[in-house]
């Protein structure tokens, strides 16, 4: 029988700096009343100059590994879902792999905007179910506030920085990720994009002058799309798990806008209390919003082992998706590991690998010259 993909660890990390709506009033022509009534957002976190997408991701992953009691050397796969990667390449996931010292892990980024965490969860679960890997770390991490035009009140009020991570492990019990649905519609790509910086519009004076490196959004279009798909895809995922909405204890939606979550709850005919909401304190953290919300739901006792939970999200692409999970918790009875200590081991390992690579180049160069 094929193994099941259990979520055995979770962790989040958000920057310390808080930006309130009152702070935003000093930057653009907006006000707290407008932002709260249209979005539900009251404050968001902003990464410091020293923090990056990989550094936030690494902190969240270490916390998730701590909960799972799994050492980085046991990780087979790292997927970082992000809309704000550090570079086009190398993948942010490879930077995280190096910082964790996860010597045997394959690592790659997944770009599906705010739906990315659900897509990554599905990919990792499928790899576990296929029997090809045992342990995966799935991370959503963002420093999207660096890609905002702080003169554009339509977008700069919405987003925040942060990271969240899950550890997935193979287990025999029939629980864990029960079903998932991924959907895309590229015909709506224009509604939400960062047009320049890739190969279509390489960086140039013109792209900079025209602000094409900033996030651009048709808010109303995205709003209409989101309210249409959120309840639909949740239903699809629940049906595909052979369950009914009554079987679901908690819905953890992508934290973009309170009104979108309210519309989804209405569409599903469930009380809003069945949806977990924390966007008032973090804004839209894109791929990180679902794992961050999950960590807080657990902390508040709203998600317990045995519960069935739906994760549902939407984003640029356009993309949308949902996953039904029977919550597991850490596997019991293993010797205690201290993943955070790997931070130092990982630094030493990375440094030695760099030196070895340099020595290799010198030796190889010498041999080449002798020929």
CA pair distance 134, 119, nearest whole angstrom:
19
Among candidate residues 6, 254, 275, 295, the one labeled active-site is 254
Choose between 93 and 316: whose C-beta lies nearer to ligand ACO: 316
CA pair distance 333, 35, nearest whole angstrom:
48
Choose between 77 and 81: whose C-beta lies nearer to ligand ACO: 81
Choose between 10 and 223: whose C-beta lies nearer to ligand ACO: 223
Binding residues vs ligand ACO (CB under 6 A) = 30, 34, 38-39, 83, 113-114, 153-154, 157, 192, 217, 219-220, 222-223, 226, 256-257, 284, 286, 315-316
User: If we measure between CA atoms, which residue out of 89, 131, 130 comes closest to residue 107?
Assistant: 89
275 a catalytic residue: no
CB of 217 to ligand ACO, least distance (A): 6
| Per-residue CA distances from 227 to 259, 279, 284, 348 (Å) | 9, 17, 16, 49
6 a catalytic residue: no
Give the residue at shortest CB distance from ligand ACO. 315
HSE-CB for 39 with a 13 A CA cutoff: 30
The 3-state DSSP class for residue 334 equals: coil
| Per-residue CA distances from 122 to 23, 56, 127, 176 (Å) | 38, 22, 9, 11
CA pair distance 266, 245, nearest whole angstrom:
13
CA pair distance 151, 140, nearest whole angstrom:
27
60 Cβ contact partners less than 8 Å away, ≥ 6 residues apart: 11, 12, 13, 139, 141, 163, 164, 165, 288, 291
Choose between 222 and 277: whose C-beta lies nearer to ligand ACO: 222
Among candidate residues 94, 114, 156, 295, the one labeled active-site is 114
CB of 337 to ligand ACO, least distance (A): 35
User: If we measure between CA atoms, which residue out of 221, 149, 147 comes closest to residue 189?
Assistant: 221
Is residue 250 classed exposed, middle or buried when 0-12, 13-18 and 19+ CB atoms within 10 A define those classes? buried
Choose between 97 and 286: whose C-beta lies nearer to ligand ACO: 286
CA pair distance 313, 298, nearest whole angstrom:
19
List the alpha helices (DSSP H) in 21-103. 21-25, 32-39, 53-68, 92-100
The 3-state DSSP class for residue 323 equals: strand
Choose between 225 and 342: whose C-beta lies nearer to ligand ACO: 225
Choose between 83 and 135: whose C-beta lies nearer to ligand ACO: 83
CA pair distance 88, 248, nearest whole angstrom:
38
CB of 315 to ligand ACO, least distance (A): 3
- What single-letter DSSP state applies at residue 30? -
CA pair distance 251, 96, nearest whole angstrom:
29
Known catalytic residues are: 114, 254, 284
């Amino acid at each position: 029988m094929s193994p099941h993909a259990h979520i055995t660890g979770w962790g989040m990390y958000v920057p310390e700096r808080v930006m309130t709506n009152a702070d935003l009033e000093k930057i653009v022509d907006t006000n707290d009343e407008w932002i709260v009534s249209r979005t539900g957002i009251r404050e968001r976190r902003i990464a410091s100059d020293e923090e990056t997408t990989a550094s936030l991701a690494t902190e969240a992953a270490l916390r998730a590994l701590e909960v799972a009691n799994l050492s980085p050397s046991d990780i087979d796969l790292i997927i970082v879902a992000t809309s704000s990667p550090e570079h086009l390449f190398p993948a942010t996931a490879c930077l995280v792999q190096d910082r964790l010292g996860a010597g045997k892990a394959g690592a790659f980024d997944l770009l599906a905007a705010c739906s990315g965490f659900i897509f990554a969860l599905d990919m990792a679960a499928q790899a576990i179910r296929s029997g090809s890997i045992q342990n995966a770390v799935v991370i959503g991490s963002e420093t999207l506030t660096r890609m905002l035009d702080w003169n554009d009140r339509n977008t700069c009020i919405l987003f925040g920085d942060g990271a969240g991570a899950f550890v997935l492990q193979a287990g025999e019990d029939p629980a864990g990720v029960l079903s998932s649905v991924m959907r895309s519609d590229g015909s709506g790509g224009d509604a939400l994009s960062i047009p320049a910086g890739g190969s279509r519009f390489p960086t140039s004076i013109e792209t900079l002058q025209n602000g094409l490196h900033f996030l651009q959004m048709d808010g109303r279009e995205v709003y209409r799309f989101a309210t249409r798909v959120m309840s639909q895809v949740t239903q699809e995922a629940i049906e595909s798990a052979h369950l009914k909405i009554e079987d679901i204890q908690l819905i953890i939606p992508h934290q973009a806008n309170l009104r979108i979550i309210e519309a989804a709850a209405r569409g599903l005919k469930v009380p809003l209390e069945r949806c977990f909401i924390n966007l008032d304190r973090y804004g839209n953290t894109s791929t990180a919003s679902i794992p961050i919300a999950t960590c807080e739901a657990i902390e508040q006792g709203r998600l317990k082992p045995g519960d069935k939970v739906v994760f549902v999200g939407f984003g640029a692409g356009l993309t949308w998706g949902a996953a039904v999970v029977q919550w597991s918790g850490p596997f019991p009875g293993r010797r205690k590991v201290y993943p955070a200590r790997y931070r130092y081991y990982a630094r030493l390992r990375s440094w030695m690998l760099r030196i070895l690579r340099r020595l290799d180049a010198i030796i190889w160069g010498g041999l080449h010259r002798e020929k």
